[in-house]
Each structure stands twice: as structure tokens, then as C-alpha cells.
Amino acid sequence: MDFRISGGSPSSSSTSSTDPHNSSTSHRRRHQNGGADNNSSDPMHSWWESISKARSRIQLLSSILPSDDPTAVASLVDSDRPARSLLLSHPAYSLLSTSLSAPSAGSGEDPLCHWLYDTFLSDDADLRLVVISFIPLLSSIYLSRVHSSSSTSPTPSLSGFEAVLLALYSAETKSRAGKPILVSIPDLSQPSVYHTPRAPIQNRPSSIRPAVGVLSPALEPQIAVKSTKRASIVGVALDSYFKQISQMPSWSKVDFCRFAADWAGQDCPCVWELDETHHGKLENLFSDNSRILDGLTEELRNMEIEEKPGGDSSKARIPLPWELLQPVLRIVGHCLLGPLNAEDVKNGASVAAKHLYARAQHDLVPRAILATRSLVQLDRRAREAARAADASGPASNATTPSKAKKPEVLLVSK
């Protein structure tokens, strides 16, 4: 079975539209079925068709995944929203992660890659979100295997992973319609409702146009993952993940932060250069409050990156060009500053930001240093503000009246 990057052949549709016999036959069949084509506009029919497609995809996935508990995925079929249940099922995510991490995964004959590819091409939004939630894991495995293969050993077949990445890239290319993503840079010399310009209005030229920056260049269609386009293709796939990040489960975000820290591959002391509360400095800052000290020490211990087997913690270090680093920083920034993110997501993003900052310093990339340093400083200030709020919380609550104010009642005369 071959992967199909483009749509189906138009020959069948053109034949049916030009053949009068086929046209009359189809019209007679619709008449005999009582206008079955009207079911496409029926909300109940569309809902049931979506449920049926999701259940069939889940049943197929259950037959592919090896598991000691066969009901871990198959039981999701009985849900009212099976695709959404699959997206929010941590056991299903763990099973898929284990299968994708197998040494034999990623080839062109891998049934799980075929399942991901076909599922992403479906028209069900929740099923597509399931595939998007595995972009961090799939990208990490793919990049680590590509860059870890030596020149003497043959590169393993990763055409299955590449087909899924190309499907995401093709969808994004189609949605952008050959246009770049631009951002308007405001001219601070122009008046606005937020500031008063320093220069007098009569001294400024009237033909000043706002500057426009290219956030992402126009995408070119790709039919294969070339070495020169690999970072761009993976970066576009990660950009698709960022667009749906508000609907991604927390464990997918935690995995991405861990992978981003591994990609940076920097464990030198400069990782903690901007962290004023790391290790021994905690004792001087919170010597009067042992409870807060114990909690923060445990939090920082959980934030540490464990060393990989074999003692080399930089094995997953990969090249980070700007077209790949830019979407990585967007995702890390959301995980770090999103108000609805869980604490383990924010802690993982904090570690990833510090490792990426150290990597940018070693690579001497100015814009990467500026972006990663900003993330580290924002994280530090947010944690300082949270600690200050916790410290001042009981004192402020003591002056707050305990009795709630009664709501006002408006009297309306009859």
C-alpha cells in the first residue's frame, strides 16, 4: 500500500459527469432511495456518519496496536464522541507512543504510519487532532534517527514518518495558498490611542507606511523530504501543532518540552545562568519558611532533566536552524505562559527554555539568544510574582470582610 500525498484521480468524476447514462442512472437511484442525497444536509445524519467513521478508525487502531489489555483502545468506541475520547485518553497515547518508538517503526510498511496518514486525510476534525497530538513525538523520533545515523551504517527507512510529515506540510501549503505570513510592525512615530508622538505632526511626512515583516515565507509544494528542506517541513508540521495547541492534551505538551530540551543538548552550567533561585541560593532566600523551601526544592528537582542511559545526555542534540527553532519557541512560549496550562507543563517549558537559551549562546545566534533569554526572564518574573502572591495572600485575606455582599435587587413597579 502506497502513501498518497495528493488527492484522488479526477478521471472518475469527469466520466460520471459527461456520461448521460450514468447521470440518469444516478438520478433514478436517488429518486428510488427517497432523496438520499438530502441526508448530507441533515445534522443527525452528519453526526452519525462522523461517529461511524471515528469508530471504524478506532477499531482499526485497536487491531494494529499490540497491548496486554485489548480493551484499552477498543473501549473508546462506545463513547458518545469516540474521536474526542481517543484524543483525551492517556492510555491510548501511551500505547501509540510505545509503538512509534519501536526500532522498526517509521518504515513505509508500518501500519501505524498508514493509520496516521489516512486518519489525517479524513474530514473529521477530532480525528485530525489525534494525529496532530503526536507531531512532537513523531518529529523527535524522526529527527533523532536522521541525525544519529553514522556515515558507515545505512540510514533506516523513515518513509512512513516522512509521509505523515508531508501530509501535514501539504495541508498547510494549501491553506496558505502560496502566500507568506506577514506581520505589521507599527511605527512609533505615528500617533495612536496608546501614545503621544514626540515629533510634531506637521514635521512628519504623510506618506509613511507601516513596516511589514515576514513571519514565515511562502511554502513550495514538496513531494519528498530532501535534506535541504527537512527542517522547513518539520517546522511547518510543528506550526500546525501550535495552531491547535489549545486543544492538545497536557501529556503531549510535556513530551514536546522534554524533546525540545533534548534537541538543545546543552547541560553546561550556563543553563541555569538566569535562574536566581537554583540550588544553593534557595536557602538564603527562604530560610525563614521551611514549607515554601521544601516545596520549591521539590519543584526544581522535578524540573531537572534526567541523564539518558549511557551517561551521554547530548545524544539527541540536533541542528536547530531558524525555520525549525521558530515554531519550537512559539510552542515553548505557550506552554510557559499559558494561564490554563498545568504546572508540569510550565515546569517542562521552563527547563526547555533554559536549555534552548544555553544552546543559542553556544551557537552565537543573536535572534535566538534574544528570544530564548526573553522566555527565561518571563518565566522567572512569573514565578517571582506567584511566590509574592502566595506570601501576601494570608495577610490580604485577613482584612477582607468574611460576609459576602448581598446582590442588589431591582424593584419594578407594576
- pLDDT at position 38: 52
Write out the three cell numbers for 324: 525549525
Mean pLDDT of the chain: 77
CA distance 69 to 121: 28
Distance between CA 17 and CA 257 in Å, rounded? 51
Using DSSP's 3-state secondary structure scheme, residue 412 falls into coil
Q: Considering the entire predicted model, what is its pTM?
A: 0.74
Task: Give the residue with greater pLDDT, 109 vs 15.
Answer: 109
Question: Do residues 130 and 95 lie in contact, with contact meaning Cβ atoms separated by under 8 Å?
Answer: no
Of 242 and 104, the structure prediction assigns the larger pLDDT to 242
Calpha distance 247→239 (Å, rounded): 14
Asked if pLDDT for residue 180 goes beyond 60, the answer is yes
Pairing status of strand 181-185 against strand 211-216: antiparallel
Lowest-pLDDT range of 71-75, 98-102, 160-164, 319-323: 71-75
Q: Which range, 15-19, 307-311, 367-371, has the best average confidence (pLDDT)? A: 367-371
DSSP 8-class letter at 229? T
Q: Which of 143, 226, 212, 144 is nearest to 181 (CA)?
A: 212
Please state, in angstroms and rounded to a whole number, the distance separating the CA atoms of residues 334 and 327.
11
On whether the CB atoms of residues 241 and 136 are closer than 8 A, the answer is: yes
Q: Tell me the mean pLDDT in the region 246-268.
A: 91
> Regarding predicted confidence, which is higher, 259 or 412?
259
* Rounded Cα gap, residues 59 and 111, in angstroms: 14
- The answer on pLDDT for 305 being more than 50 is no
Q: Residue 26: is its pLDDT beyond 60?
A: no
Q: How confident is the model at residue 275 (pLDDT cuts 50, 70, 90)?
A: low
Residue 194: phi and psi, rounded to 5, are -105, -15
32-79, pLDDT tens digit by residue? 444 445 555 677 777 778 888 899 999 999 999 887 666 778 889 888
CA gap 147, 153 in Å, rounded: 12
**More confident site: 21 or 390:** 390
Q: Report the phi/psi class of residue 411: left, alpha or beta, with left for phi > 0 and alpha for psi in -120 to 50.
A: beta
> CA 140, CA 158: separation in Å to the nearest integer?
13
Cα gap 281→336, rounded to integer Å: 23
pLDDT at 215: 82
What distance in Å separates the CA atoms of residue 266 and residue 268, rounded to the nearest whole number?
Answer: 6
pLDDT at residue 245 greater than cutoff 80? yes
Check if the beta carbon of residue 180 is closer than 8 Å to that of residue 217: yes
| 63, 74 Cβ separation under 8 angstroms | no
104 membership: H or E segment, kind and range: none
Residue 161 neighbours by CB under 8 Å, 6+ apart: 106, 113, 138, 141, 142
